[in-house]
Structure 1
Amino acid sequence: MENIVWHQQSLTKEGRRQKNGHHSAVFWFTGLSGSGKSTIANAVAKKLYELGAQTYVLDGDNIRHGLNQDLGFSDQDRKENIRRIGEVAKLFADSGQFVCTAFISPFQEDRDTVRSLLEEDEFIEIFVDCPLNECEARDPKGLYKKARSGDIPQFTGISSPYEAPKAPDLVLRTDQYTVEECVAQLITFIQKKNWLEEANKRDI
């Protein structure tokens, strides 16, 4: 961009990771409303914290109360919502932290765009897979009922499409496993990559 010059920071991502004692990455939880994204993201963040890691959660509803409060739910606004979150998530990864993001993020193209912002081993697409009928039966926020009655237009899964991940890094079946079991599946995934090795050595 004209008249804007990137300023190189004195601290590097690698240095921050070394200081924190672990890798950094974005765990991108995607799925229908009511699938359990926020619940699992927060549970994972808590577990990582207990294991000595630096973590943060970016939640869809919370972000729309602040950073993205100017956006609606048109396709274009949804794309911009995810674009902004992708840039914020990238900053967290650069700071040496694990960031858990819980967003419906219905379009594959947008999720792929976020992946392209990060290095190969920094974006983990996690499909929180739960059938629509189960999500609708749970309806924790009463949104499906409003969508069915026409009070909420362009609602994902009802009047707006959801594109399931083509090749997710991990699938969590929340209709078949408990929150604790889903958390364990992701922690195992992380441990297999040795991303917590230094943190575990430090805390044990």
Structure 2
Amino acid sequence: MSDPVDLRTARLVLDQPTTADVDTIAEFCRDPLFERYLTTPWPYERHHADMYVEQYVPNGWQTGGESTWALRLEPGSPLLGVVGIRSGSGEIGFWLGAPHRGHGYMPEAVRAVIAWAHDGGMPGVDDLLWRAAPGNRASASVARATGFRFTGEVDPTFLDRSGQPTAAWIARRGRSIDHNAAASWAAILEWPS
């Protein structure tokens, strides 16, 4: 059991999603990319956002099962996106609202969450896991930028929104920085190693 903590980066405040964010969450989660790449409910409706803010996020903190943050430019400002990490598996997940993509916010936020987890915020979690639906290059770019090593596509690894096993891109990151990790992404991101 743990209490929510706020994190700060050079440009961001990571705090808790609130009821004031519900309409924004519902709007962002209606993005067609969410249908294609995420396991959020589809079609995404306001009641899903209500349940997420009022039940899912607080329950994750209370049970210690998952820690979730809203990304903001300053305290009380509009929500930009969300990042979370699960205890046990160390799986990190995130999304950013369409108007806020391309500014480097998510790698900055993910680095803060990694540091928090490795600095004792999530005891027992040394190795972190990232996974995404194949083709989710934006998410893969964030994972690459934050030091994850791409390990390949594994089939099946998680359940899609209909409950069916599906393939996933997988990457892992330990406590220490692997300076060769970036090269592991060349095949799917078409970057030179």
TM-score of the alignment, normalized to the shorter chain, above 0.5 = no
Structure with more strand by fraction: 2
- Report the TM-score when normalising by structure 1: 0.29
* Greater RCO, 1 or 2 (C-alpha within 8 Å, sep 6+): 1
